[in-house]
Every structure is written in C-alpha cells, then in structure tokens.
Amino acid sequence: MRLSLARFRFDVTPPLGHSLCGGWIPPVSAIDDPLEAIGLVLLGAGQPIVLCAVDWTGLCNDAHVQWRRALAAAARTTPDRVAVQCLHQHDAPFVCLEADRIVRQQGDLSPNVAPAFFRRCLEAGKNAVTKALRSPRRITHVASAQAEVKDVASNRRMLDDQGRVLTNRSVAPGSEKLRQLPAGVIDPWLKNIAFYDGAEKVAACYYYAVHPISYCCQEGRVSSEFVGLARRLKQEHDRPGCTHLYFTGCAGNQNTGKYNNSDVKENRQRLTERVYAAMEAASEKLRPRPISQVVWKTHDILPPPRSDLSAKEIQAQINDASNRVVLRNRPAFTLAWLRRCEQRVPLTLSALHVNENVLLHLPGEPFVEYQLRAQALAPNRFIATAGYGDGGPWYIPTAEAYFQGGYEVKVAFCDPRIDPMLTDGILKLLSDDNAVE
C-alpha cells in the first residue's frame, strides 16, 4: 500500500465587525489570536480522503455541505469522502446560510455571516488543498496513544435526587459550591493518532471532549481558545515538519465549569497548559506500526425534528421585534433545520479506519456519552471521536437526557429518536466489514 498525506492550513479569521456565534453576542472588535482551518488529504486508499478541523463555532446545513464540496473539488474526490469538523470556540463564526437569509429578511437583525468572507474562506481552502497536493509526504506507519487531561473537563448538567437537571454549571459558576460538585460523566482521555514516514512524524491528530471556552461572548475578542493555543504550542515545540490538528469530541454536555472562573482571564493560559501537557504525555507513548489497512466508511441519517416545533410560530417569534436578539436569531437556526428536513437532506457520518484505529466523525453537538458508547462498542480498537461536523441539528442529547430536562434538551432540534439513529450509525461505521459505504 503506497500512501501519502498532503497537509494544508489556511486562515479563517473573521474581519472586524463580523458576526460571532450566530449574531447574538458582540461582533468582532479585536483579534486575540487568529483562527485556522487545518487539514489532511490522504492519498492512495481509493479516492482521496479529506479531514479538516476549523476554528469556528459551527457550520450548519448548506454551509457545511459547501465546505465539503469545495475541499472535495480541490482534492479531486467526492464530498462523501470529506469530513469537516468545527472546534466550537464561541468567539468565532457560527454559519448557517439559510438562517442568515432568514434574519436578513428582518432588516434589523445581525447576519451570522458576511457572504464575501464565507466565499473567501472557500477559495482559500481550495487554494490550500491544491497547493498541498503538489508536495504530499509518504506515510508508512501509524501510532495511537492517550493521556489523561487533568482539571479541565466537567459535566455541566447538575442532577437532583430525582435524576433531573437541577442547574447548569457554566464556565463562570455562580458559587464555589457549584465548583465543588463532582465532575460528573466525562471522558478524561485526550486521544492522539499520528502518521509517520518511517520514523518521522508527519501529522498528529488530537481529540478531547470539552467546550473550548475559558471566557467569551462579551467583548468580541476572537480567539482559538485554550485548545487552539495548546495546538499552536505543540506545533511550535514539536518537529517543524509535523502538522498538528485538534478536534473537539462529543462535548455537548461538557465544559470547564468545575475548574474555571471566566472572571479570571488568566485561566485561559492554565487550561492551555493542561491540554498541552496531555498532548505531550500522549505523544511520548506513541509507538509507530506499519500501516496494513485503510478503510473509509460513511452512513447517512436524517433524524426528524421535534413534533412541538412549528415553523409558523418560530417565524412569528423571529418577526417580533420586542424579543431579545438571541430569541430572534437563534430560532432562525431552528427554522433552517425544519426546512432542511422538509427537503430530506441527510447528515453524513464517517469513519477512517487505519489498522486498529478509528477516526470517527459525528454531526451536531453530541453528548459525551456517544463517544463513550462508541469505545464500548469496539473495545479492541482505538476510537478517536470528533463531534461538531454538520451543525444542523444543534445539540444531540441522549434519550435519557430528554427525561432529565435542562437547557440542551430545550434547544435541541430533534426528539429522543435521534439517539438510536445515531447509535446505529456509529455501530455501522465501527463494523468489521471492509466495504466502503
């Protein structure tokens, strides 16, 4: 098997004044550090396979499809062989083209994306991939390892004695008592899968489930947050010829609330150092082995929207100028999902199998239980899960979570039927057959 990797990166930092996080927080006032899209094109395993991690809050519906199509065209492959995953920093663009059209019709609401900026990012992505394909690096070996991340992730859904959500532990807990509560259900492991040319590391992918927020949403200061800063620190300290990618796992119910106080801005550096320490620890455990098998698999799902969502009522809420901006902009994303479901445009899940390692790509904002479930379904394999692919459905709670209630369930666009659909899709992607779907 003759394999190679073309590595690319391009800037996706929004301009001053651009909308952030869907348009309901202050727009860009300053750039604390730039945002990037970083990716790999795997060559030699059938048609090219593209993986891309983007420092944005999210890409929803047609915006996500357009990114996949653009990168696929540049890589001379098909969109179903492209995985685009956002990291979900909040002081960053959150793009849904249909939601943008809906809010622009109002005339008094902030758009969620500047069309010219969006097009520039697509062109930059195509140019970066085209340039990368001129000088791919041979890869012969793969390695995987994990290390515990200490004092970063905690579950934000605090349950009462009846198993229902009592409160949401934010990244700025209102009291020391909330911080002292147990971390709850988390996945403490940072996963690392690396590709080598002989003994030389060519690319390394890191996966960890936590909302990448230390502080945000108040001043319009763009940042790749502590995960992007840790990635950049690792890039600076590792071999200059190695490209480093970070993927946010299933972090829909995960944040830094137990170990953070957003009033203490120095915490961003502390969190950076903790994630970087886990990157270093995992890297030290890597033991490259020859690549013997590469398989790409996909599976499409189209989970139905909640039955209580009415397009007419949502449009009326958007039209009501007396509502706060967040109560008008955010429903535009819901209405966009309803229209997508009417058009029956599915979500694409995908997985890259390399030897016993699986790089799993999921849509939306899934709860951490999904990546724990994936590992349990394939205990003899090393599963690295990236969430925040196509953000169309927003939060993806577990079926149990709908009984528990809480913010995430309230704003999720789908009902509990999404749990078995997504779980079945994960199971199919992890299956042992080698057929490419």
The model's pLDDT over 84-142, given as tens digits with 9 standing for 90+, comes to 999 999 999 999 999 999 999 999 998 999 999 999 999 999 999 999 999 999 999 99
| Coil, strand or helix at 123 | helix
Per residue in 332-358, pLDDT (tens digit) is 999 999 999 999 999 999 999 999 999
Looking at the predicted structure, is the pLDDT value of residue 174 above 80?
Answer: no
Q: In this structure, what DSSP letter does residue 414 have?
A: B
| Coil, strand or helix at 84 | strand
Q: Are 291 and 355 in contact (CB under 8 A)?
A: yes
H helix or E strand, kind and range, residue 273: helix 267-284
Looking at residues 384-388, what average pLDDT do you find?
98
Q: Are 203 and 245 in contact (CB under 8 A)?
A: yes
pLDDT for 437:
36
Radius of gyration of the chain (CA): 20
* Burial status of residue 160 (CB atoms within 10 A of its CB: 0-12, 13-18, 19 or more): exposed
Domain ranges of the chain: 3-298+344-430
The tokens of 410 are what?
């309230």
Among 220, 262, 266, 224, which Cα is nearest to 30's?
220
Strands 365-366, 395-396: pairing kind? parallel
Looking at the predicted structure, is the pLDDT value of residue 206 above 80?
Answer: yes
Looking at residues 263-289, what average pLDDT do you find?
96
Show the DSSP H helices in 61-135 as ranges: 62-75, 97-104, 115-132
CA–CA separation, 230 and 270 (whole Å): 10
Cβ neighbours of residue 25 under 8 Å, at least 6 residues apart?
90, 91, 216, 217, 218, 220
pLDDT for 436:
40
Looking at residues 265-276, what average pLDDT do you find?
96
Looking at the predicted structure, is the pLDDT value of residue 434 above 60?
Answer: no
For tokens 């696929």, what's the residue? 72
pLDDT for 435:
43
Q: Are 243 and 233 in contact (CB under 8 A)?
A: no
Looking at the predicted structure, is the pLDDT value of residue 381 above 90?
Answer: yes
**Phi (first) and psi of residue 277, to 5 degrees:** -60, -40
Strand partners, 224: none
| Coil, strand or helix at 200 | strand
Conformational region of residue 22, where left means phi above 0, alpha means psi within -120 to 50, and beta covers everything else: left
The tokens of 168 are what?
């949401």
Per residue in 222-253, pLDDT (tens digit) is 999 999 999 999 999 987 789 999 999 999 99
In angstroms, the Cα distances linking 345 to 72, 165, 265 are 18, 33, 41
Compute the mean pLDDT over every residue in the chain, rounded to the nearest whole number: 95
CA–CA separation, 89 and 262 (whole Å): 14
Strands 36-43, 3-11: pairing kind? antiparallel
pLDDT for 173:
62
pLDDT for 255:
96
* Burial status of residue 295 (CB atoms within 10 A of its CB: 0-12, 13-18, 19 or more): middle
Q: Are 303 and 393 in contact (CB under 8 A)?
A: yes
pLDDT for 262:
85
For tokens 């196509």, what's the residue? 390
